[in-house]
Amino acid sequence: MKIAVDAMGGDYAPEEIVLGAVEAVKAYDFDVVLVGDEKKIRGVLTKYGAKESDRLSIVHASEVIEMGEHPAQAIRRKKDASIVVATRLVKDGLCDAVVAAGSTGAAVTAALFGLGRIKGIERPCIATPIPSKKGITVLLDSGANANSKPKHLVEGAIMGYHYAKYILGVEKPTVGLLNIGEEASKGNELCQKTYPMLENLKTISFYGNVEGRDIPKGTVDVVVCDGFVGNVILKFGEGMAMFIIRLVRDTIKNSGFIAKLGALAVYPALKSLKKRLDFTEYGGAPLLGVDGSFIICHGSSKAKAIKNAVRVAGEVAERDVVGHIRKSIEEEEVEQYDSES
């Protein structure tokens, strides 16, 4: 498996991206193609005593899409942007998956334009792993579609199921519909219409409605929702986690001498916890529904996150998540659903 990594995307590009790739080829059996400014990439490699090889190569791309640019316009105009070139490598069969840490909008657009959608999928979506009491809950859509229709949530349920099964290794993943009550009749129009459609699916196991608290509780393996809701939750959760960890630290700090002594011993534990709650540590979020393996990383990704993302990208390709989704969508005949429903 050969992973195309956009070396120019993200707040710490190219340095941390290149470093992550170097670590990935050491740790895993996946090869990496670094896509971007050849000179800059080579500079980082040299700086850290790493070398190009069969397993770690460079494909030059002369342009970069910046964070502020309008995704569709930028993708259309900059034919030689690193994210566009990386995606093309997969389209042309030269690579098996893309890892991208730049603008999410640009990544989604590059994937849609460059790879197209799996037949029957109308709206690809971003699946984000969220830490929970039981390990990981996959939340999707976490930001690709802000105006989902029932069909899109059904697609999400199917895609999330296969991601949990083949990448997280859950034998029979349960899928819940995010709602504001347990009964089928609860919630907004979107949920009320989606519920019976999910009940009718043959290829996945629908658990029923779940509520916000079920995400950290780990009630189900996959939680499906509209991309607006998912994105708000994701960012709220990240902010909340960092806020609480800081509160814990401050609370300890202001608790008198003995607590302070205790704190010295507790801080390393807090630090490791902070990592566990850092959603970026989980190796990126797959963009599911495009016709190829595509992993989106947080803009603030450092080497470790990129390394993890390369592993996830390799696994998504190797275990043919796209193929499993395609098969399931065919069996469910999702494409025949009226897209207005």
Q: Kindly tell me which residue out of 53, 264, 336, 340 binds its own copies, with binding defined by CB under 8 A.
A: 264
Which among 274, 305, 272 is positioned nearest to 12, based on CA atoms?
Answer: 305
SS3 call for 56: strand
> What is the sign, positive or negative, of the torsion defined by CA atoms of 268, 269, 274, 276?
positive
Give start and end residues of each alpha helix (H) in 11-133: 15-27, 38-47, 71-77, 82-91, 104-115
Distances in Å between the Cα of 107 and the Cα atoms of 70, 100, 229, 301, 310 are 12, 7, 20, 15, 16
Q: Which is nearer to its own copies, 27 or 67 (CB)?
A: 67
340 binds its own copies (CB under 8 A): no
Q: Which is nearer to its own copies, 89 or 223 (CB)?
A: 223
Q: Which is nearer to its own copies, 93 or 268 (CB)?
A: 268
Count of C-beta atoms within a 10 Å radius of residue 122: 16
Q: Which is nearer to its own copies, 44 or 233 (CB)?
A: 233
**Quick one: which segment of 28-36, 194-202, 215-223, 316-324 binds its own copies (CB under 8 A)?**
215-223
Q: How far is the CB of 219 from its own copies (least distance, A)?
A: 10
Q: How far is the CB of 293 from its own copies (least distance, A)?
A: 25
Interhelix angle 82-91/104-115, nearest 10 degrees: 30
122 binds its own copies (CB under 8 A): no
94 binds its own copies (CB under 8 A): no
User: 232, exposed or middle or buried, with CB in 10 Å at 0-12, 13-18, 19+?
Assistant: middle
> How many amino acids of this chain bind its own copies (CB under 8 A)?
61
135 binds its own copies (CB under 8 A): no
- Cα-Cα-Cα-Cα dihedral of 40, 45, 49, 52, to 10°? -130
Three-state SS string over 323-338 comes to HHHHHHHHHHCHHHCC
Q: Kindly tell me which residue out of 27, 180, 199, 339 binds its own copies, with binding defined by CB under 8 A.
A: 180
Q: Kindly tell me which residue out of 272, 336, 338, 340 binds its own copies, with binding defined by CB under 8 A.
A: 272
232 binds its own copies (CB under 8 A): yes
Q: What is the contact surface with its own copies in residues (CB under 8 A)?
A: 132-133, 143, 146-147, 178, 180, 187-189, 191, 211-217, 225-229, 231-248, 251-252, 254-256, 258-259, 261-266, 268-270, 272-273, 276-277
